[in-house]
Amino acid sequence: MTSDAARADGLTDAVQAVLPALEQWLRFTDMTGPARRRDSWQAVLDVPLPDKGAGAGPALAELADWVVANGLPIGAPGFTGFITTGPSTVPAVAQFAAAVASPQRYAVSAFNLLEGVSLRWLAQACGLDPTVAGVYSSGGSVANLLALGAARQAAFERLGVDVGRDGLPPGARGRIYAGTEAHHTIHRSAAVLGLGREAVRPVPVDDRQRVRPDLLAGMIERDVAAGDVPVAVVGVAGTTNTGAIDPLDALADVAERHGVWLHVDGAYGLPAAGVEELAGRFAGVRRAQSWIVDPHKWLATGVGCAATFVRDPELLHRTFTQTPAAYLAMPGSGAVASAFEDFGVHYDDLSVELSAPPRGVLVWAVLREIGRDGLHERIRRHVAYARRLTDLARAHPRLEALTDPELSVACLRYRPAHPVADAELDALNEELLRRLWRTTAHLPSSTVVAGRFAIRPCYVGVRHTDADVTGLAAALVELGDALVAERAA
């Protein structure tokens, strides 16, 4: 046999076989369908490994009829749950093009070039200095790990230890300082970096869910006195729960006074720092040593795209560099006549990934299509949606706003006209959220604000409209009233 069992031609026909199903999916006409039909598609798909393949035609038909048709509607207009969204059209096509034309991000290709170009554009769109160095990864979890890895390297190098090469000194205790509203990926990063989850020192937050710098300084001083090594202070530019922005300028003051690395977790909110009328909320953001941002959030590239920026890429290199590998050596010299005579930027030595797809083309595609102005206008619109929903809640006698939005997250709840105990009110809103998911096109998530259960929409998708905002408020009242009536019957 000289040919492979997989089809390697006929790309146009193969794509056209699935496109109608994708177009139908993007109408989002049946939001609860995949859950209702779970038994049927699971029976078709969850079968034993076949010895003989069905061939391209049946595989594509199954993909269209059973897989695409039962996807996850995170790109729907009413989806405001996770801080992520489906891709807009151009980056979706760019991702497909990259998968076919350049499966790896290295060597001489336009895709390799766009890694660097897009990182520069992204830094500028976020209001950072375009000279900062960056590397892409799969999401905020890895992006935070890379930044805090560089912070750990810098902290121990000041003590004369190359921790990336030699490991942590015996008995050393590194500390990371983050507000109690910081994302749990900070703790996971500490664990992976050998510091341990308990190395993350929780700093209390104020009544607006922002870290308190006045308490941070004392915590650092006590740890230093105990022989601990301060590794990093983490400021969050848009918390997951409420969208709060930590006082970055004040954090920078504390960090500089104690010689500690300042890292900004801007996975969600950092693009808003580039918006002129919002920039004041991010005062001090440029004073950090590292930043992360997830383009798969506000840029709508599609999930699996994050960026880490640092001032000094050599710290990343000393932390994550691989031992030399002969098979990665490029023997070319002088003029390059083959794509494989120049490896390009060694992103593999700045990250935990060697093999990696070109993610920069997704960011390039978004910014090439809509530009900085288009991105910033999207952010303005979404921040206005959160404000509008909050205003609707404050104006309605049976809705209650639980936060004053800084970005595009709103937190609210239904509150009956008659007095209700806190526990009963939480249970009522939990059931209300389930009914929203099951009976409407509105798909927010939940959180807890100052001990109170909150319904929490976050606007980052490209398909949200004014009607999704007013419709959610109306649905909360309608379903809440119905629930109260049922319980009274």
Q: What is the mean pLDDT of residues 386-401?
A: 98
Residue of 165, 178, 274 lying closest to 219 (CA atoms): 178
pLDDT tens digits for 195-246? 999 999 999 999 999 999 999 999 999 999 999 999 999 999 999 999 999 9
Given CATH 3.40.640.10, say whether it is the number of domain 92-368: yes
Does pLDDT of 172 surpass 90?
yes
What are the percentages of helix, strand and coil residues in the chain, rounded to 5? 50, 15, 40
pLDDT the model gives residue 271:
98
Q: What percent of the chain has pLDDT over 90?
A: 91
Kind of pairing between the strands at 200-203 and 174-179: parallel
pLDDT the model gives residue 203:
98
Domain with CATH 3.40.640.10 in the chain: 92-368
pLDDT the model gives residue 127:
97
Residue of 270, 198, 201, 215 lying closest to 239 (CA atoms): 270
Q: Give 178-190 as a 3 state SS string.
A: EECCCCCHHHHHH
pLDDT tens digits for 44-83? 999 999 999 999 999 999 999 999 999 999 999 999 999 9
> Which H or E run contains 309?
strand 306-310
pTM of the predicted model, to two decimals?
0.96
pLDDT the model gives residue 341:
80
CA distance 450 to 447: 10
Helices 422-439 and 466-488: crossing angle in degrees, nearest 10, is: 120
DSSP state of 64: I
- 416, 484 in Cβ contact below 8 A? yes
Does pLDDT of 3 surpass 70?
yes
